[in-house]
Structure 1
Amino acid sequence: MKLGVLTNVIGGTPLKEALPYFKSLGAQMVELGCGGYPGKDHCDPKILLHDEAKFQEFMNTIKESGLEVSALSCHANPIHPNKELAKQFDDDLHDAVLMAEKMGIHQINTFSGCPGDCPESKNPNWVVCAWPNEFQEVAEWQWNEVLIPYWKDFVAFAKSHGVNKIALEMHQGFCVYNPYTLKKLRAAVGPEIGANFDPSHLFWQGIDPLAAIRDLGGDAIFHVHAKDTKIDPFNAPIDGTLDYRTYGDPLNRTWVFRSIGYGHDELFWKDFVSQLRLVGYDYVLSIEHEDILMSQNEGLVKACDILKRAITFEDRATGQHWV
C-alpha cells in the first residue's frame, strides 16, 4: 500500500514545486485534479491534450519527482439539472478520460452526480427519505431516467479509451452516498463502477467505515481517500448530523472534517488499513486535506505522520506454516 496526496490542497503552487514538497512529507503517489470541483491547477486537459510540448514537460515533471499518479480527480455533477453546468462537468469528465488515456492511467475519481426531481428542475434534489411517497417517485425517476443511462453511456466511452475504473466518492448531495447506492449503480451499469472510498463522508452518516469496507469488498474499492471527520460532542446530541450550516462555522456545526488523527485515533487508522488489506485492496491512501482548524502544511504533516505508521507498505508475508 502507498501513501498519496490529492494535490489541489496547494493548487496555487506550481506542480514543479508541489511534487517535491509532497515527496518530502513521505508521499509516494499523487492524485491530480483535472476538472470539476478540484479544478485544473496541476493538470489542465484543455492545454495538455493539444500542446505536445507542454504535455511532455508535464510528464517529465512527474517522472523527475519520483512520484506516481494514483488517479485523475474530476469530481463533478454531470447530471446537474442546470444544462449549462451539466455540460461543463460532462466535458471535464470526458477530457479527464482522454487525459488518463494519454498518460496511460486506467482510472478517474469523481461523483455520481445528482439531478433534479423532473426535467424542468433548476437545482439538484437529494432524496434521503422514503416518505412522503413522492420522494420515492423522484428517486425512481432520477435513477431510471437520468443516473443509470448517463453512467452506462459514460462507461462505454471510458472503456473505449482504456479507462476501466470509474471511482465514485460516496458523498452527501449525490445519488451515490453509501455502500447500498454504490452497489446499486454498480449492479445496473457494470464492474467499471467502484468506490473512491472516503471514510470522512461515512462517519457523519453513522456508517462504520470498517464494516463498509467488508461490505463492498476489494473488487469494488478502486481508490481510497484519507480524511477524518469529528462528530461534535456538544452540537450533534442536540441537532443530529444532518447539518446544512457552512463548513466555515465549525463552532456551531454538528460535524466537521479533520486531519487524520483528529477525528479518530491512530488505532482506528491501523484497523482501517488492515481491513482494506483483508479484502484485497493494496493500492493507495490519498490524503484529502480539508481541516479548517489547521494550516495546509500542518494538516498534511500530521496526517502523513500518522499514516506512515498505520500503512503497511510491504507485501504481506506468505508461508506454508499458516496452512
Structure 2
Amino acid sequence: MKLGVFTVPFSEKNVDEMLDYVADKGIEAVELGTGGYPGNAHCNVDELLDDTNKQNEFLNKCKQRGIIISALSCHANPLHPQKQISEEADQLFDKTIKLASQLDVPVVNTFSGCPGDHEHAKYPNWPVAPWPNDFQEILTWQWEEKIIPYWKKKAELADTLQVKIALELHGGFSVHTPQNLLRLREACGPAIGANLDPSHMWWQGIDPVESIKILGRENAIHHFHAKDTTIDQGNMNRNGLTDMTSYADMQNRAWYFRTVGFGHETKDWADMISALRLYGYDYVVSIEHEDGLMSIDEGFSKAVEHLKPVMVKESVGDMWWV
C-alpha cells in the first residue's frame, strides 16, 4: 500500500511547491482535482489533454519526487436536473477520464450524482425513506431513467479507455451505501467501483470494516480515502443523522469530520487497513483533510503521523508457518 493525499487543501501552492511539501511528509501518491467541487489547482485538464509534452513534463515532476498519481478527481453532479450544471459536469468527467487514460492513471474519482424527481425538475431530490410511497416512485424513476442509463454509458467509456470509475459513497447523492454501489455495479459492470471514505460510513451508521468486507468480496473498491468522523451523541439525539446544521456550526452538529485518529482510535484504522489487505486492496490510502478544528498543515501532518504506523507495505509471500 501507498500513503497518499487529496491535494485540494494545498491549492494555494503551485504544483512544484505542493509536491515538495507532501513528499517531505513521506507521501507516496497524490490524488488531483480536475474541476468540479475540488477545483483544478494542480491539474488543468484543458491544458494537459492531448498534449504529450506537457503530460510528460507533469509526470516527471511527480516521478522526480518518487510520487505516483493515484487518481484524478472531478466530484460534481452529472445527473443534476438543470442541464447547464449536469452538462458541465458530464463534459468534465469525459475529459478527466480521457486524461487519466493518457497519463496511465488507473482511477477517476467522482460522485454518482443525484437527479430530480421528474423530467422537468429544477433541483436534485434525495429520497431517504421508503414511505410515503411517493419516495419509492421517485427512486424507481431516478434509477431506471437516469442513474443506470447514464453510468452504463460511462462504464463503457471507462472500459474502452482502461480506466476505473470510483464513486464516492456520499450522502446527498444516489450512490451513498455499499448496497447502492453494488446495485449500480451489477447494472453497469465492474468498471464501476467505490472510492470508499470511512468518514461517510460512520455518520450513516455503517461500520467501515464491514463495508470493506461487503465491497471487497466483489472486488469493488477502486480507491480509498482516509478521513475521520466524530459523532456528537447529544446533537445526534436532537438532529438525527441527516442533520442539516451547517458544517461551520460544529458545536450544534450531530456529526462532523475530523483528521485521522481524532474521531476513532488507532485500532479502528489498523482494522480497516487489515481488512483492505484481506480483501485484496493493495493500492493507495489517500488522506482527505476536512477538519474544522485544525489548520491544513496540522491536520494533514497528524493524519500522516497516525497512518504511517498502521500502513502495511509488504506482501506476505509464502506463509512459512503453515
Is TM > 0.5 for Structure 1 vs Structure 2? Answer: yes
Q: Give, in angstroms, the shift of residue 319 of structure 1.
A: 2.5
**Match of residue 205 from structure 2:** 206
**Match of residue 5 from structure 1:** 5
Does 1:48 pair with 2:40? no
User: What amino acid maps onto 1:13 in structure 2?
Assistant: K
Indicate the SS of the match to 2:120. Answer: coil
Residues 158 and 191 of structure 2 are in contact (CA less than 8 Å); yes or no, is this contact kept in structure 1?
A: no
**Match of residue 226 from structure 1:** 226
Does 1:183 pair with 2:182? yes
Residues 25 and 301 of structure 2 are in contact (CA less than 8 Å); yes or no, is this contact kept in structure 1?
A: yes
Q: Give, in angstroms, the shift of residue 274 of structure 1.
A: 0.7
User: What amino acid maps onto 1:180 in structure 2?
Assistant: Q
**Match of residue 154 from structure 1:** 154
Moved more, 26-35 or 289-298: 26-35
Residues 55 and 103 of structure 2 are in contact (CA less than 8 Å); yes or no, is this contact kept in structure 1?
A: no
Please give the alpha-carbon distance, in whole angstroms, between the structure 2 residues aligned to 1:134 and 1:316.
52
Q: How many residues align?
A: 321
Q: Give, in angstroms, the shift of residue 50 of structure 1.
A: 5.0
Indicate the SS of the match to 2:195. Answer: strand
**Match of residue 91 from structure 1:** 91
Indicate the SS of the match to 2:252. Answer: coil
**Match of residue 237 from structure 1:** 237
Residues 5 and 288 of structure 1 are in contact (CA less than 8 Å); yes or no, is this contact kept in structure 2?
A: yes
Indicate the SS of the match to 1:31. Answer: strand
User: What amino acid maps onto 1:100 in structure 2?
Assistant: A
**Match of residue 312 from structure 2:** 312
Where structure 1 has 5 or more consecutive residues not aligned to the other structure, the ranges are none
- Equivalent residue runs for 1:1-40 within 5 Å: 1-40=1-40
Residues 77 and 86 of structure 2 are in contact (CA less than 8 Å); yes or no, is this contact kept in structure 1?
A: yes
**Match of residue 79 from structure 1:** 79
Q: Give, in angstroms, the shift of residue 57 of structure 1.
A: 2.6
Moved more, 151-160 or 187-196: 151-160
Q: Give, in angstroms, the shift of residue 53 of structure 1.
A: 4.2
Indicate the SS of the match to 2:321. Answer: helix
Q: Give, in angstroms, the shift of residue 64 of structure 1.
A: 1.6
Please give the alpha-carbon distance, in whole angstroms, between the structure 1 residues aligned to 2:103 and 2:54.
13
Deviations 1:118-172 (Å, cap 9, x if unpaired)?
0111110001110010100000000000000001111112222222x11111000
Q: Give, in angstroms, the shift of residue 190 of structure 1.
A: 0.5
Indicate the SS of the match to 1:313. Answer: coil
Where structure 2 has 5 or more consecutive residues not aligned to the other structure, the ranges are none
Q: Give, in angstroms, the shift of residue 302 of structure 1.
A: 0.3
Moved more, 215-224 or 107-116: 215-224
Indicate the SS of the match to 1:176. Answer: coil
Moved more, 239-248 or 287-296: 239-248
Residues 5 and 27 of structure 2 are in contact (CA less than 8 Å); yes or no, is this contact kept in structure 1?
A: yes
- Please report the TM-score for the alignment, with normalisation by the length of structure 2: 0.97
Moved more, 239-248 or 146-155: 239-248
Indicate the SS of the match to 1:241. Answer: coil
**Match of residue 105 from structure 1:** 105
Residues 35 and 93 of structure 1 are in contact (CA less than 8 Å); yes or no, is this contact kept in structure 2?
A: no
Indicate the SS of the match to 1:70. Answer: strand
Please give the alpha-carbon distance, in whole angstroms, between the structure 1 residues aligned to 2:263 and 2:312.
21
Q: Give, in angstroms, the shift of residue 294 of structure 1.
A: 0.4
Give the superposed CA RMSD. Answer: 1.2
Q: Give, in angstroms, the shift of residue 232 of structure 1.
A: 1.1
Please give the alpha-carbon distance, in whole angstroms, between the structure 2 residues aligned to 1:302 and 1:292.
14
**Match of residue 194 from structure 1:** 193
**Match of residue 276 from structure 1:** 276
Please give the alpha-carbon distance, in whole angstroms, between the structure 2 residues aligned to 1:238 and 1:247.
16
